[in-house]
Chains A and B, each alone.
Chain A
Amino acid sequence: MLGFLTARQAGVDDPLRLRRAESTRRVLSLKLNPDRDVDRVHGNGINTIDIDAVEGRYMLSGGADGVIVIYDLENYSRKQQYSCKAVCTVGRSSRYVHKFSVETVQWYPYDTGMFVSSSFDKTMKVWDSETLKPAEVFEFEGNVYSHHLSPIARKHSLIAVGTKDPKIQLCDLKSGSRIHVLQGHRSEILSVRWSPRYDHILATASADSKVKVWDVRQASGSLFTLDQHNGDKSKASSEAVNTAHNGRVNGLCFTGDGLYLLTTGTDDRMRLWNSATGENTLVNYGKVCNESRKRLQFTVSRGCSPEFVFVPCGSSVAVYALHTGELVTTLRGHYNNVDCCEFHPDYQELYSGGKDCNILAWVPVPRASDVEEESKSANQAAADQSSVNPAFQDAWSSDED
């Protein structure tokens, strides 16, 4: 570590190198911390969580009973022990609450004044976070499995919605119109995802084992379909031509830079694809247990090298290295199936929610303090109990001193 700091100081190393090294070290040491807790508000399983992209301060969670909760993740108390409080809830008593389970929630990418939630009651609601009332309700004909707003779009504000219908609907937030439809799949759409690199590229995964990548500006069909055998027709039986998996595809995730796309399927496999060409990179992750009949929310780390994939596997979260496919570790702590996980890129923390109604925060293990520091802090702690971290101490002094 000191070597990295000196190299950075001397200008031998790029500043990014130190940051990446430290982020990777932190991700490799993720553990459950007794000091960090998330308020338990849900009475039923948690289906989806989302952390806002602007500040990384608020977290949304949607539950199987239709309840939506907003948590504050920042720790402004000066204590080590912190429990993320629920700021507000759309509970069962609210007039506008979803009737059935909430499947996807997402913050509006530019500020936390608005969020969108979609549910099995065949509606998608756009909520005002201040008043907790829906500003707009979109109704559909089948269960809504997944929706996604593009995190980088400036020219459009389309929400891609995947429902039981094989057609993907694009709902416009500005005008409320839903006439733009993408046709091509043959079965229900389990997951949709916009690319974080281009605002017109959309990837969709369906129960017919296919994953299609679309350019929404084009009038014709999809750009390409992902093929697990890379066009080598000899490897598979003839029904499995042009499929991404040998079963339903229920999870999609782009890497942070948008260059690669990860897909998971009920054939217990996870595949890494080059998002520009649609080529299967043939990284072998082994058996990634997947029994979900709905969308699986998994996530990729950002800012580390090598990048890590966090996949919910049964009642634990498996961590794989992105490009080599090796299983780095398994995070065990939930009492029941884990349904969703989300990575906080600024603090390298992982939040996971599952059927046991808990959201667990996996926090990097803090560095062990040196022997000298320990004795000094022991003296300080005796004198001054509240200040644990000298960074929080008020060191301001007025000019007249």
Chain B
Amino acid sequence: MRTLVQRVGSAANLNDLSINPNSHWVNLKGSWTTNIVVIVALRLMFGTIPWTTPELSWTLTNLSYCLFQYIMFHGIIGTPFEVNQGAYDNLTLWEQMDNGEQHTPTKKFLTAVPIAVFLISTHYSNYDLLTFVINFTAILIVLAAKLPAFHRVRFFGINTGQNELSS
């Protein structure tokens, strides 16, 4: 019987300082800039849809960015190629980053960006209650998954990830 809170074990020796190629790229030059570029591109894309107001575009940007971030960093478990003989197989990308170290600059950046997008979207939606609630829920889920307390914890579908679709 599945318990509500599951703690996931991992074979990775998280004190081992070897690079994990699957997650190391977030520290490399250009990845942060690409993050910003993606947000700008999303906003422009939503803006090109006719009859969308800026508030709707920003809300959609916030929601889609949160969705992307969630799927990419917390929704997919393991590595798309073999790393270290499967040591990282049970970990989401967020947990693999920086070998499980918390509060690294990259993690701070990736926590700050959704917050910034959220603040911009609330500004443009003129603090309307409904959009605020929608945006807030989205960002709450994304931020919860990033908390150090949630490291290797699978709770209520947060961090569970999207496993094999066939099974």
Whether chains A and B associate is no
B residues with CB within 8 A of A: none
